[in-house]
Amino acid sequence: MPSARAHWTLVFTAASLEHLAERNVEAADIVDAVYGRDGLARVRRAGRGTRERWFVIAPLGSGELLTCVFRAALPRDLNAEGAFVVSGTGLPERPGTFDSSMRLCVSARVSDPDEISSYRRWRESKGRSLMRTVAVRRGKIPRFRSDQEERDFWARHSVEEFAGELEAVDITIRAPRTEQIAVRLYKEDLEALRSLAAVRGVGHTTLARTVLEGWLAHSRSKSRAARRRQARRPA
pLDDT 10s digit of each residue in the chain, 235 long?
Answer: 456 888 899 999 999 999 999 999 999 999 999 998 889 999 999 999 999 999 999 999 889 999 999 999 999 999 999 999 998 777 889 998 998 899 999 999 999 999 999 999 999 887 454 445 555 567 899 999 999 999 999 999 999 999 999 999 999 898 877 677 888 999 999 999 999 999 988 888 888 877 887 787 667 657 655 665 676 666 5
- Answering whether pTM is above 0.85, one says no
Task: State which amino acid sits at residue 185.
Answer: L
110/60 Cα distance (integer angstroms): 10
C-alpha–C-alpha distance, residues 221 and 235, integer Å: 24
Q: If you count DSSP H runs as helices and E runs as strands, how many of each does the chain have, helices first?
A: 6, 10
Break the chain into its structural domains and give their ranges.
4-174, 187-232
Whole-number Å distance between alpha carbons of 212 and 46: 32
Q: How many CA atoms lie within 13 A of 55 on its CB side?
A: 22
- Give the residue from 155, 149, 166 showing the smallest Cα distance to 68: 155
Indicate if the alpha-carbon torsion angle 161, 164, 170, 176 is positive or negative: negative
* Contact (Cβ atoms closer than 8 angstroms) between residue 56 and residue 173: yes
